């Protein structure tokens, strides 16, 4: 295949390289996938203002997210089981992000552990926390993230229970993956993926195995993941987590104005407007459609970030124009990783950077810090 030029090209390549159940795991939303589709579709409804004959030299996309320098306002979103898109996936993606100068967020449900990622990076990464019922395990995770030098804790608030994803159920995907004859066949048809996977020892949840009480093997880890997401989690716990962590706290999964205000009151440093990439409440609005209202409600007191449906640098620019300080990409980097490993993640970031840079210039701006709603022509 010719050099991939778009995230859609990377997606096609990933589909050919990654076994079906893991490709589908990335490319799925809850139930009818209407929110998953709206996340992308609603970006297309936003039109940009074309400006001409303005000086376009010396452009910069550099800015900060939560006070930390970034080469462009993009972060890699936390994604579970990333090490199943490509062997050692989290370590590869973290290195690509570090070299590119954007934050990498490691999921609690990663295959490579916090310590694995710390061992291959030199700059701090961010850690995403799922709050489990076993609070000793949670404290231990927070302490491990601190010891690894993580520079932000991303608390995910929208997954106390799991939204049903039909593709995963039909594929018989379990957490961690168990391999039936059907799965073995799916893997056998992806020999390059298999060869890489045979070379690594990281094939289960690295942050959990050997760290949670009684979790020493694949059968106990499966029981742990099914029982541990805490349906009783509430705003009181957020204050407790903030205290345990003591560093910058980002609350992810905010889609409602009232929840955004509550997050500000709880002392979060930033929120991520997100519906978990359409994987939780199907029928919820797209992230980009809720962004302006949430930005208004937060009124500059903390940073507002966004994720969901970003597939180009244009989408990032639109999000920044509507008030987001930065945008996270989930599937775009997973497709890059599945397609080409670390180089694919770098390519995904390069594609996004180039699109953002050219679009910004054609909208008559030279500095991402000057991008605001004046570059939007219409929103319908
Ligand atoms: C395969 C996959 C796994 C994910 N796992 C997590 C996770 O472990 N923790 C989390 O907070 N969000 C998780 N998410 C949600 C992402 O962080 C992010 O909200 C979403 O991917 C953004 O949408 P996008 O994929 O359209 O960019 C996951 C998303 C995908 C696609």
Ligand 1 nearest atom to the CA of residue 308, by list position: 23
Domain assignment of residue 289, yes or no: yes
**How far does the centroid of ligand 1 lie from the alpha carbon of residue 237, in Å?**
22
Each residue of 288-314: pLDDT tens digit?
999 999 999 999 999 999 999 999 999
- The finding on whether 156 has its CB within 6 A of some atom of ligand 1 is yes
Burial of 57 from C-beta contacts in 10 A (0-12 / 13-18 / 19+) = exposed
What percent of the chain is modeled with pLDDT above 90?
A: 86
pLDDT at 223 over 90: no
Domain assignment of residue 1, yes or no: no
Domain assignment of residue 128, yes or no: yes
pLDDT of residue 114: 98
pLDDT at 333 over 90: yes
pLDDT of residue 214: 83
Domain assignment of residue 170, yes or no: yes
Q: What is the mean pLDDT of residues 84-104?
A: 98
Each residue of 121-138: pLDDT tens digit?
999 999 999 999 999 999
Q: What is the mean pLDDT of the chain?
A: 95
Instruction: Report the CATH number that the domain containing residue 157 is assigned in CATH.
Output: 3.20.20.70
Residue 286: which H helix or E strand, with range?
none
Q: Write out the catalytic residue numbers.
A: 276
- The finding on whether 39 has its CB within 6 A of some atom of ligand 1 is yes
**How far does the centroid of ligand 1 lie from the alpha carbon of residue 328, in Å?**
9
Which pairing describes strands 63-65 and 68-70: parallel, antiparallel, or unpaired?
Answer: antiparallel
Domain assignment of residue 355, given as a range: 7-379
Q: What is the mean pLDDT of residues 336-353?
A: 98
Chain-centroid distance of CA 195 in Å reads 27
**How far does the centroid of ligand 1 lie from the alpha carbon of residue 274, in Å?**
9
pLDDT at 336 over 90: yes
3-state DSSP helix/strand/coil percent for the chain, to nearest 5?
Answer: 50, 15, 40
pLDDT at 219 over 80: no
Each residue of 225-248: pLDDT tens digit?
788 988 999 999 999 999 999 999
- The finding on whether 286 has its CB within 6 A of some atom of ligand 1 is no
CB 294 within 8 Å of CB 274: no
Domain assignment of residue 73, yes or no: yes
**How far does the centroid of ligand 1 lie from the alpha carbon of residue 61, in Å?**
24
For residue 166, the number of C-alpha atoms closer than 13 Å in the C-beta half-sphere is: 5
pLDDT of residue 350: 98
Q: Best of 255, 279, 315 to mutate for ligand 1, by most ligand atoms within 8 A of CB?
A: 279
Rg over alpha carbons for the chain, rounded to the nearest Å, is: 20
Task: Name the domain count of the chain.
Answer: 1
Phi, psi of 234 (to 5 degrees): -145, 180
Ligand 1 nearest atom to the CA of residue 154, by list position: 11
Atom 20 (ligand 1): residue with closest C-alpha?
277
CB 183 within 8 Å of CB 25: no
Domain assignment of residue 19, yes or no: yes
Q: Best of 78, 318, 319 to mutate for ligand 1, by most ligand atoms within 8 A of CB?
A: 78
pLDDT of residue 239: 95
List the beta strands (DSSP E) in 233-339: 249-254, 270-273, 303-307, 326-329
Q: What is the mean pLDDT of residues 337-348?
A: 98
Count Cβ atoms below 10 Å from residue 281 Cβ, excluding itself.
Answer: 16
- The finding on whether 336 has its CB within 6 A of some atom of ligand 1 is no
**How far does the centroid of ligand 1 lie from the alpha carbon of residue 79, in Å?**
5
CB 250 within 8 Å of CB 269: yes
Residue 136's contacts (CB-CB under 8 Å, 6 or more residues apart) are 213
Domain assignment of residue 2, yes or no: no
The CA distances from residue 287 to 39, 213, 328, 374, in Å, are 6, 37, 12, 20
C-alpha angle 259-263-269 in degrees, rounded to nearest 5 = 145
Atom 3 (ligand 1): residue with closest C-alpha?
79
pLDDT at 278 over 90: yes
- The finding on whether 110 has its CB within 6 A of some atom of ligand 1 is no
pLDDT at 315 over 80: yes
């Amino acid at each position: 295949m010719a050099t991939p030029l778009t995230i859609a090209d990377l997606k096609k390549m990933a589909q050919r390289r990654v076994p079906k159940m893991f490709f589908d795991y990335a490319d799925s939303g809850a139930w009818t996938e209407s929110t998953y589709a709206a996340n992308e579709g609603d970006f297309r409804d936003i039109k940009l203002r074309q400006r001409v004959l303005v000086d376009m030299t010396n452009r910069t996309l550099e800015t900060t997210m939560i006070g930390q320098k970034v080469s462009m306002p993009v972060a890699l979103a936390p994604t579970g089981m990333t090490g199943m898109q490509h062997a050692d996936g989290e370590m590869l993606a973290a290195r690509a992000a570090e070299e590119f100068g954007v934050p990498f967020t490691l999921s609690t449900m990663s295959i490579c552990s916090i310590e694995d990622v710390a061992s291959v990076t030199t700059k701090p990464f961010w850690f995403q926390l799922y709050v489990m019922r076993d609070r000793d395990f949670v404290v231990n995770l927070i302490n491990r993230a601190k010891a690894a030098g993580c520079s932000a804790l991303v608390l995910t608030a929208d997954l106390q229970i799991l939204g049903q994803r039909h593709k995963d159920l039909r594929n018989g995907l379990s957490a961690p993956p168990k391999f039936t004859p059907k799965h073995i066949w799916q893997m056998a048809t992806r020999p390059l993926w298999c060869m890489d996977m045979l070379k690594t020892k990281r094939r289960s949840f690295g942050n959990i195995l050997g760290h949670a009480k009684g979790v020493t093997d694949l059968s106990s880890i499966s029981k742990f993941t099914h029982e541990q997401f805490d349906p009783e989690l509430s705003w009181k716990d957020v204050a407790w987590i903030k205290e345990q962590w003591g560093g910058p706290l980002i609350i992810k999964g905010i889609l409602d104005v009232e929840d955004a205000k509550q997050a500000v009151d709880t002392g979060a440093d930033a929120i991520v407007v997100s519906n978990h990439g359409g994987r939780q409440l199907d029928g919820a609005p797209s992230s980009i459609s809720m962004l302006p209202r949430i930005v208004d409600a937060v009124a500059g007191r903390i940073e507002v970030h966004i994720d969901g449906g970003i597939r180009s640098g244009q989408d990032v620019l639109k999000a920044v124009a509507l008030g987001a300080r930065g945008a996270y990409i989930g599937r775009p980097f997973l497709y890059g990783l599945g397609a080409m490993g670390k180089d694919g993640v770098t390519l995904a970031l390069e594609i996004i950077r180039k699109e953002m840079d050219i679009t910004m210039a054609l909208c008559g701006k030279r500095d991402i810090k000057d991008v605001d709603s004046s570059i939007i022509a219409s929103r319908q």
